[in-house]
Amino acid sequence: MVVLYIKKKLAAAHNLTEKQIDELRRSPGYKKCVFNLMLGQRHTLEEFDKWVKDLSPGMGMPKRFGRRMGLEPEEVEYLVARVRQAHNEIVSGKAKAPKPIPDPLKRIENHKHGLYREQGRKCNGCKEIFSFSDMTIDHIIPRSRGGTDALENLQLLCQSCNSSKGAHTQEEWVRGKL
């Protein structure tokens, strides 16, 4: 029933019929893309198993992931088994690891325009106005200190402020300036 709802939603969103959506889902190319996505995002079998567990708190991974991908639970279980097999072949040297598929939401460069608008074209350090090209993306809590590429941990600084901030947290840097 849930897959039927997703099918209707996909058909409406892409101006296709439900039959066309079924044909796309049944194509070997679609399942291969899902397989490559699953394999390419997880570097080790342990990471993959953690991902499977994280996706399935209390409701079963195949059901939840299948819903998102428009696949039946049995199809997802088959793909999970194939990914585990592929990881084992990579570890044993029988196969090469694929290059990870970059997640566009995790690319920090994608956030620069939004941050520029949000900060009103001002450096978050000296509060001066700069052109877009003169601003650099900075981690409020540096990655070397456990910071992430999450949008909440990013800000724009002019090149001078970014250089003086270095590997300090924003709080340490501001305190040192006072």
Q: Provide the number of structural domains found in the chain.
A: 2
Type of residue at 165: K
- The answer to whether residue 97 is domain-embedded is no
Structure tokens, 33:
């893309």
Q: Which amino acid is at 18?
A: E
Give the mean model confidence (pLDDT) for residues 32-59. Answer: 65
Average pLDDT estimate for 63-90 = 74
Distance CA 178, CA 175 (A): 5
Residues 86 and 133 both lie in one domain? no
Looking at the DSSP bridge assignments, the partners of residue 129 are: 122
Mean pLDDT of the chain: 75
- Position 80 confidence tier, pLDDT thresholds 50, 70, 90: confident
The pTM score is 0.43
Which pair of tokens denotes residue 101? Answer: 């598929």
Residues 6+ apart with CB under 8 A from 173: 125, 164, 165, 166
Whether 42 and 111 map to the same domain: the answer is no
* Averaged pLDDT, 86-92: 78
Say which residue, 77 or 137, is predicted with more confidence.
137
Report helix, strand or coil for 14: coil
Question: Residue 167 pLDDT more than 80?
Answer: yes
Question: Which range of residues forms the domain containing residue 127?
Answer: 104-177
